[in-house]
Structure 1
Amino acid sequence: MKPFLRVRGLRSGYAGGVVLGGLDLDAEEGGIVAVLGRNGVGKTTLISTVMGFVRPYEGSITLDGRELAGARVDVIARAGVGVVPQGRRVFAPLTVAEHLAIAARRRAATGPWNRARILYLLPRLGERLGHRGDELSGGEQQMLAIARALLGNPRLLLLDEPSDGLAPAIVSQVGEVIREVSAEGMTVVLVEQNLALALSVAEHVAVMQKGSIVHRAPCAEFASSPGDRRRLLGVD
């Protein structure tokens, strides 16, 4: 079966420097792939290149057969790609309600995710509609970043370190959201340092080293292989 997301020979970086050196990655429709790796191996560059924030030097990125490598961010978003960036990047002066209203303007004409459903899934946001971005906790900002992405009704959701700096209870809630969107057919690529979260939600792992995927495995296999985890990630 052809992968829904297919990345081949992807090379990209910054100011002529190479970070990704011929990377390949697949994700099946409705599946969750966790991209793992130590700091500095290029995980965020991968997310940024797929989303169009970084222009690739060469290689192919296809979504459901459509080539997106080198396309503008707005073109990629309209093709069905949404992103939850590392660090949340909410707008400090805007309220939660204003964030959601702006995201809803770009909402696809069809799709299950609207404001009412977002607030049902993430009720804390409903309690904070009048609060500014800089008045939210880290967990609330992360929920807002996820809500903003879902309102675009993406077919592919890219999440870059969504558990970073969050309390365990909020990390658990992030995991529940990821499972729910995948159960409804959304494809998810999850970049994550929290191995417990990644292994609890993903079906497959892809481990990066020095800008390339060097190991692929089903999550159950990787979870039962402490030798692979020590060798590839330096963790038990």
Structure 2
Amino acid sequence: MLKITDLKVNYGGIEAVKGITFEVPEKSIVTLIGANGAGKSTTLRAISGLVKPGQGNIEFLGEEITGKTPEAIVKRGITLVPEGRKIFPDLTVCENLKIGAYLRKDKLDDDINWVYDLFPRLRERSWQMGGTLSGGEQQMLAVGRALMSRPKVMMMDEPSLGLAPIVVRGIFDIIREINKQGITILLIEQNANMALQTADIGYVMETGRITLTGSGKDLLVNDAVKAAYLGA
């Protein structure tokens, strides 16, 4: 569904991504794990059009999308839940959700209700300002806002960052549920254990390169992965 070939990205004067190749099959959950600075977030930013690759190809459903604008990429069905959530604090929950559908011209009621069914807490706080929500609720809102574009692929950058363990488990339950409803997930996550438990396929990134590939289950028991990322 999404194919990245020999991708190189210079970011802040540094070659952050050094010729990586990987694929994201349709309706799968794929995770990129690695230390801070490995190039994971830069990879997502390149796919979403926020930074321009220096080399390589990005294909989505057989179409080259390398270097296209973020708006064009969202229109094609790829959306990003950014690190740090980046909700609009001075807008209500409902207004934040509607912003996620800014490219759409059709009615939004059914999709807003779908998001509220996924996240009942957001329904309860529909008219509350986004900035007054808890961290977990803001993450729910960021995911819900991304869903409002009706994506085929949802990319998620560190969805568990700064959240309590019980909230993290809830977020991963929602990731699985969204995937069951047919949305492909590309996930970056510092919590490598949760990410690999959830993912069909995992890629390990180190200093801009992919160094290991396998199923989530296989990487969970890989000695090098256990030593570097799982605290074992």
The TM-score with structure 2 as length reference comes to 0.94
Separation in 2, partners of 1:146, 1:91 = 13
Residue of structure 2 aligned with 1:71, choices 68, 71, 76 = 68
Separation in 1, partners of 2:8, 2:167 = 35
Separation in 1, partners of 2:195, 2:7 = 23
Separation in 2, partners of 1:110, 1:231 = 50
Q: Which residue of 2 aligns with 1:165?
A: 162
Q: CA deviation at 1:165?
A: 0.6
Contact 2:192 2:230 (C-alpha < 8 Å) held by counterparts:
no
Q: Which residue of 1 aligns with 2:111?
A: 114
DSSP-derived class of the 1:214 partner: strand
DSSP-derived class of the 2:100 partner: helix
Q: Which residue of 2 aligns with 1:202?
A: 199
| 2:157 aligned with 1:179 | no
Separation in 1, partners of 2:120, 2:105 = 23
How many matched pairs?
Answer: 232
Residue of structure 2 aligned with 1:140, choices 131, 134, 137 = 137
Residue of structure 1 aligned with 2:17, choices 20, 26, 36 = 20
| 2:230 aligned with 1:228 | no
DSSP-derived class of the 1:153 partner: coil
The TM-score with structure 1 as length reference comes to 0.92
| 2:34 aligned with 1:30 | no
DSSP-derived class of the 2:182 partner: coil
Q: CA deviation at 1:222?
A: 1.3
Contact 2:11 2:42 (C-alpha < 8 Å) held by counterparts:
no
Q: Which residue of 2 aligns with 1:156?
A: 153
Separation in 1, partners of 2:31, 2:134 = 26
Contact 2:18 2:208 (C-alpha < 8 Å) held by counterparts:
yes
Superposition misfits of 4+ residues, deviation over 6 angstroms: none
Separation in 1, partners of 2:113, 2:14 = 44
Q: Percent identity?
A: 36
| 2:39 aligned with 1:42 | yes
| 1:1-41: CA deviation from partner (whole Å, max 9, x where unpaired) | xxx11000101122443110101111100001110001111
The structure-2 alpha-carbon separation of the partners of 1:18 and 1:92, relative to structure 1 and needing over 3 Å to count, comes to same
- Gaps of at least 5 residues in structure 1 are none
Q: CA deviation at 1:55?
A: 0.8
Q: Which residue of 1 aligns with 2:92?
A: 95
C-alpha RMSD of the superposition: 2.0
DSSP-derived class of the 1:55 partner: coil
| 1:82-121: CA deviation from partner (whole Å, max 9, x where unpaired) | 110000001111111111122234348699x700111011
DSSP-derived class of the 1:75 partner: helix
Q: Which residue of 1 aligns with 2:53?
A: 56
- Gaps of at least 5 residues in structure 2 are none
